């Protein structure tokens, strides 16, 4: 990562947002699961979504995109938590509130992610972010 | 409990991440001490506000309200009380630092006054902040860790762990790490203060329930005093000698506690942040909207709510909340609290380490020390200071708190030399030096530390702590100002050094106030004095009953003094804004400040003189120690 001034200032802001909103959201989500309350979990999801929105706003202010590390961390965490959720659902130890809370979290994040890609890159551009051409296809074109 | 270690590890990883980034930017040692004067103004604003208020607000401020009630409303005005000196000093200090290319308070004092005494005193204040003031807060955190882990992690072990994390990021990244990480820590600490208040209110049911509980307390004659200022002043002999009627919280006690709080902005810690900033363009916004607005509001509302909740139910204090909340919330709140305390502690350690090595050791004893060697030695000194703090937390907690109580009032004594540099050009070198000397004496004679030392030597003073309910900061300042004025009168003909003259010329030439600001000068004096009188001074007596109805009912639904404090916090925010922008005391400045080029001087070899000084120091220490032991053996109890 480049360590020039504005990039560092952006990173400070990103850390700040996630330290406050992210961890507060995580806490509320877990509290909702512990108390079997969907509304508290939804508050946590709202906090996490708010952190994402603030992250995107900061990206806009500093004219940058998500860094490679952030993307890996975000998608990795999403995948890992998704795996835990699926394992929990298959195991059958979840209450209906836990189930709906998890679906709310993963659904909102997935929808938000797609909305972000479509609004930032357009439908075709969003697809191109994932469409990796093979070497032979590149030579043929 | 898995969450606390998990969050703790994450926090430690984040600190090391920022330390690594800072070290790379520093080139290891080149800009270790002042981040190359490149900290963004918004980062400095957050660091200053966070360092001065966040840890204190949750650990001390809320606890004092929880125990003593609203009898000292100055606590609720801490945001404004700290913003006012920032408005007076910071822009001018930055200009002086930039013109003379200096990066710390010690260098400024040496350059302007040419006084080694003031430099040594500034270093001493930094060391007291680093070892004792920060140590007290870290000790409180260690006790919380012990409670949270059910005794599995003892307080000394927790203190060691916290000190290792702190030491790690400060010695690796220097001022840049303190700044970068400090911005994150300040916002997290502020959020956690709001979080504590929110959880306390949830515990009670609502804000209405909080005030209903307070109302029930106020109806009890034994507790009613907690909702009132105990008169304008009480001429008692001081705590430990003669108890005040009701409680110690008189209006004058409030005023003088506000003075003590103002000491932080005159400390070498605040100067370090300001002189490491790349531009003064953020001073006005930082002092107005961050310090007085955001942090001041959090203190007036959230810290007060947290303290008030603890008055009703002690289990809703900081320790109780951390124990009773869900582990993930408790861990988050604790990490936020830790962040606030470590922000101040890290800044204090760096400032103290630099002061001891760069401002005392190097110029007096080892002038040929290279820059790399200076940084290495500073790192070692920072480690030693952190170690001393940890040892004192574990072995001598009473001494630690007695020493820690000196930090703010002693720092407040630096107001007069700073005023001399920035505003009152008639304060001469002998006046500043003598004034600070008398100020120190005034503080020591009215603080437990001075009493303990004199008692050890066989002398018992007839007064206790804070006689006449006046804080030691004000006793010291009374002596300080009186002597400064007198000596200034008699030493006006003494000249100033070359750099001091340049500093005076530079400030005079750069800061020409507009005709509009000059026309508002008397208005500014009036509003500041009126605010001080009513918000933290004798006028607080009106606050006792200002919002109380004919049948003793609270008209605002909250204690009258709390409502009064909130009103004057809002008005104080207006005062700070007015001074910063309309009076142009901290307004942004968009001019290039060229470096001052002193006349070339022939440097003489100082090796022999340095060796002689070192010998004299050792002999003085040995003789002094022997004399103290002899006196204590002869007269001490």
What average pLDDT does the structure give for chain B? 93
What is the distance, to the nearest Å, from the Cα of residue A72 to the centroid of all Cα atoms in its chain?
10
Q: What are the tens digits of pLDDT across the range B14-26?
A: 999 999 999 999 8
pLDDT interval class at A141 (50, 70, 90) = very low
**Measured between beta carbons, which residues in chain B are less than 8 angstroms from residue A69?**
none
Q: Minimal Cα–Cα distance from A129 to chain B, Å? A: 29
CA–CA separation, B74 and B60 (whole Å): 13
**Measured between beta carbons, which residues in chain B are less than 8 angstroms from residue A3?**
21, 24-25
Look at residue A138 in the predicted model and tell me its pLDDT. Answer: 53
Residues B86 and B125 in one domain: yes
Contact B13, B169 (CB under 8 A): no
Of A15, A31, A34, the CB nearest to B184: A15
**B347 belongs to a structural domain:** yes
Q: Which of B8, B332, B337, B339 should be substituted to probe chain A, the one whose Cβ sees the most A Cβ atoms within 10 Å?
A: B332
Contacts of B464 (CB under 8 A, 6+ apart): B237, B238, B239, B240, B241, B242, B451
Q: What are the tens digits of pLDDT across the range B149-175?
A: 988 999 999 999 999 999 999 999 999
pLDDT of A124 strictly over 80: no
**B200 belongs to a structural domain:** yes
Domain count, chain B: 2
Contact B210, B308 (CB under 8 A): yes
Look at residue B503 in the predicted model and tell me its pLDDT. Answer: 85
Look at residue B54 in the predicted model and tell me its pLDDT. Answer: 75
Q: Specify the DSSP class assigned to residue B469.
A: G
Residue found by looking up tokens 């009627």 in the block: B245
**B24 belongs to a structural domain:** no
Residues B384 and B501 in one domain: yes
CA–CA separation, B254 and B540 (whole Å): 9
Q: What are the CA-CA distances from residue B243 to residues B81, B449, B465 (Å)?
A: 27, 20, 11
Look at residue B187 in the predicted model and tell me its pLDDT. Answer: 96
**Residue A28's closest CA among A11, A49, A13?**
A49
Look at residue B574 in the predicted model and tell me its pLDDT. Answer: 97
CA–CA separation, A68 and A56 (whole Å): 15
User: Inter-chain contact B326–A16, Cβ cutoff 8 Å?
Assistant: no
Residues B464 and B613 in one domain: no
Q: In chain A, which residues touch B (CB < 8 A)?
A: 3, 5, 8-9, 11-12, 15-16, 19-20, 23-24, 26-27, 30-31, 34
Q: Which two tokens stand for residue B567?
A: 């009103």
If phi over 0 gives left and psi between -120 and 50 gives alpha, with beta otherwise, what is residue A129?
alpha
Q: Which two tokens stand for residue B263?
A: 């000491």
Residues B629 and B499 in one domain: no
Beta bridge partners of B239: B465
* Inter-chain CB pairs, A–B, below 8 Å: 46
pLDDT of B243 strictly over 90: no
> How many residues in total does chain B contain?
637
Residues B257 and B371 in one domain: yes
The CATH number of residue B541's host domain is 1.20.1730.10
Look at residue B20 in the predicted model and tell me its pLDDT. Answer: 94
**B451 belongs to a structural domain:** yes
| Mean pLDDT, residues B289-313 | 96
Residues B519 and B615 in one domain: no
Decide if B309 touches A, using CB distance below 8 A. no
Contact B33, B176 (CB under 8 A): no
User: Inter-chain contact A23–B332, Cβ cutoff 8 Å?
Assistant: yes
Of A12, A23, A26, the CB nearest to B183: A12
Q: What are the tens digits of pLDDT across the range B391-448?
A: 999 999 999 999 999 999 999 999 999 999 999 989 999 999 999 999 999 999 999 9
Decide if B330 touches A, using CB distance below 8 A. no
What is the distance, to the nearest Å, from the Cα of residue B198 to the centroid of all Cα atoms in its chain?
26
Over its C-alpha atoms, chain B yields an Rg (Å, rounded) of: 24
Q: What are the CA-CA distances from residue B460 to residues A86, A135, B139, B308, B452 (Å)?
A: 74, 90, 30, 38, 9
Residues B577 and B637 in one domain: no
Q: Which two tokens stand for residue B311?
A: 């008055």
**Measured between beta carbons, which residues in chain B are less than 8 angstroms from residue A34?**
326
CB atoms within 10 A of CB B621: 10
Contacts of B348 (CB under 8 A, 6+ apart): B126, B129, B130, B133, B134, B269
**Residue B215's closest CA among B103, B49, B70, B96?**
B70
**B141 belongs to a structural domain:** yes
Q: Which two tokens stand for residue B231?
A: 């008169």
Look at residue B386 in the predicted model and tell me its pLDDT. Answer: 96
Contact B189, B340 (CB under 8 A): yes
Which residues form the domain of B262?
3-18+40-590
**B27 belongs to a structural domain:** no
Residues B519 and B628 in one domain: no
Residue found by looking up tokens 């001393």 in the block: B388
Q: Minimal Cα–Cα distance from B329 to chain A, Å? A: 6
Of A8, A30, A34, the CB nearest to B180: A8
Structural domain spans, chain A = 5-131
Residues B617 and B576 in one domain: no
Residues B569 and B634 in one domain: no
Give B57-84 as a 3 state SS string.
HHHHHHHHHHHHCCCCHHHHHHHHHHHH
CA–CA separation, B406 and B80 (whole Å): 22
Contacts of B169 (CB under 8 A, 6+ apart): B15, B16, B18, B19, B177, B178, B181, B346
Q: Minimal Cα–Cα distance from A19 to chain B, Å? A: 6
Chain B residue at shortest CA distance from A16: B184
Chain A residue at shortest CA distance from B331: A27
**B516 belongs to a structural domain:** yes
Beta bridge partners of B377: none
Contact B569, B297 (CB under 8 A): yes
b or e along B181-213 (b: 16 or more beta carbons within 10 Å of the residue's beta carbon)? Answer: bbbbbbbbbbbbbbbbbebbbebbeeeeebbeb
Decide if B71 touches A, using CB distance below 8 A. no
pLDDT of B131 strictly over 60: yes
Q: Which two tokens stand for residue B186?
A: 């300040």
Chain B residue at shortest CA distance from A23: B332
Contact B187, A20 (CB under 8 A): yes
User: Inter-chain contact A30–B195, Cβ cutoff 8 Å?
Assistant: no
Beta bridge partners of B242: B238
pLDDT of B275 strictly over 80: yes
Give B5-34 as a 3 state SS string.
HHHHHHHHHHHHHHHHHHHHHHCCCCCCCC
pLDDT of A37 strictly over 50: yes
Q: What are the tens digits of pLDDT across the range B223-234?
A: 888 999 999 999
């Amino acid at each position: 990562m480049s360590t020039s001034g504005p990039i560092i200032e952006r990173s400070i802001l990103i850390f700040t947002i996630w330290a406050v909103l992210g961890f507060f959201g995580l806490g509320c989500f877990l509290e909702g699961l512990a108390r079997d309350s969907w509304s508290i979990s939804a508050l946590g999801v709202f906090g996490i979504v708010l952190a994402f929105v603030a992250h995107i706003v900061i990206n806009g202010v500093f004219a940058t995109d998500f860094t490679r590390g952030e993307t890996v961390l975000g998608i990795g965490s999403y995948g890992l938590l998704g795996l835990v959720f699926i394992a929990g659902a298959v195991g059958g130890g979840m209450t209906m509130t836990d189930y709906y809370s998890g679906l709310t979290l993963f659904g909102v994040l997935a929808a938000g992610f797609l909305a972000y890609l479509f609004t930032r890159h357009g439908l075709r551009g969003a697809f191109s972010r994932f469409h990796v051409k093979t070497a032979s296809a590149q030579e043929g074109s | 409990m898995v969450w606390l270690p998990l969050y703790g590890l994450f926090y430690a990883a984040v600190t090391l991440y920022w330390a690594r980034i800072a070290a790379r930017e520093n080139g290891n040692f080149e800009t270790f001490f002042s981040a190359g004067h490149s900290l963004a103004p918004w980062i400095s604003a957050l660091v200053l506000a966070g360092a001065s208020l966040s840890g204190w607000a949750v650990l001390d401020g809320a606890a004092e309200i929880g125990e003593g009630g609203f009898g000292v409303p100055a606590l609720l005005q801490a945001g404004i009380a700290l913003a006012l000196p920032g408005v007076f000093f910071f822009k001018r200090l930055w200009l002086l630092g930039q013109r003379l290319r200096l990066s710390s308070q010690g260098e400024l004092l040496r350059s302007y006054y040419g006084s080694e005494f003031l430099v040594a005193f500034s270093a001493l204040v930094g060391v007291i902040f680093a070892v004792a003031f920060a140590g007290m807060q870290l000790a409180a955190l260690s006790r919380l860790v012990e409670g949270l882990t059910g005794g599995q992690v003892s307080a000394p072990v927790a203190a060691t762990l916290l000190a290792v994390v702190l030491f790690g990021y400060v010695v690796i990244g220097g001022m840049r790490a303190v700044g970068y990480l400090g911005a994150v820590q300040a916002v997290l600490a502020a959020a956690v203060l709001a979080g504590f208040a929110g959880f306390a209110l949830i515990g009670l049911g609502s804000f209405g329930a909080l005030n209903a509980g307070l109302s029930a307390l106020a109806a009890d004659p034994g507790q009613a005093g907690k909702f009132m200022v105990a008169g304008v002043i009480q001429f008692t002999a001081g705590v430990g000698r003669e108890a005040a009627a009701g409680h110690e919280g008189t209006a004058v006690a409030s005023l003088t506690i506000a003075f003590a709080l103002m000491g932080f902005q005159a400390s070498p810690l605040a100067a370090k942040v300001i002189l490491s900033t790349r531009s003064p363009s953020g001073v006005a916004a930082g002092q107005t909207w961050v310090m007085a607005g955001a942090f001041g509001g959090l203190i007036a509302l959230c810290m007060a709510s947290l303290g008030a909740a603890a008055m009703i139910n002690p289990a809703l204090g900081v320790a109780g909340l951390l124990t009773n909340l869900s582990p993930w919330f408790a861990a988050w709140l604790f990490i936020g609290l830790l962040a606030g305390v470590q922000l101040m502690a890290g800044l204090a350690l760096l400032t103290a380490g630099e002061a001891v090595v760069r401002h005392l050791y190097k110029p007096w004893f080892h002038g040929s020390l290279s820059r790399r060697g200076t940084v290495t030695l500073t790192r070692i000194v920072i480690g030693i200071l952190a170690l001393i703090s940890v040892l004192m937390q574990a072995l001598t907690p009473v001494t630690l708190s007695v020493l820690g109580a000196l930090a703010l009032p002693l720092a407040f004594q630096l107001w007069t030399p700073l005023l001399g540099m920035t505003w009152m050009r008639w304060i001469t070198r002998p006046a500043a030096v003598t004034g600070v000397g008398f100020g120190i004496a005034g503080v020591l004679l009215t603080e437990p530390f001075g009493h303990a030392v004199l008692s050890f030597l066989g002398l018992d003073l007839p007064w206790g702590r804070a006689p006449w309910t006046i804080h030691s900061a004000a006793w010291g300042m009374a002596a300080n100002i009186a002597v400064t004025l007198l000596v200034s009168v008699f030493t006006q003909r003494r000249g100033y050094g070359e750099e001091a003259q340049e500093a005076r010329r530079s400030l005079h030439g750069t800061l020409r106030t507009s005709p509009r600001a000059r026309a508002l000068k008397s208005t500014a004096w009036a509003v500041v004095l009126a605010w001080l009188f009513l918000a933290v001074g004798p006028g607080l007596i009106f606050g006792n009953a200002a919002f109380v109805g004919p049948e003793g009912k609270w008209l605002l639904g909250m204690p009258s003094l709390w409502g009064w404090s909130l009103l004057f916090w809002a008005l104080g925010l207006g005062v700070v804004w007015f001074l910063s922008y309309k009076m142009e005391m901290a307004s942004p400045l968009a001019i290039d400040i060229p470096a001052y080029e002193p006349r070339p001087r022939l440097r003489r070899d100082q090796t022999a003189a340095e060796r002689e000084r070192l010998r004299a120091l050792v002999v003085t220490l040995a003789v002094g120690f022997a004399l103290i032991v002899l006196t204590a053996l002869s007269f001490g109890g």
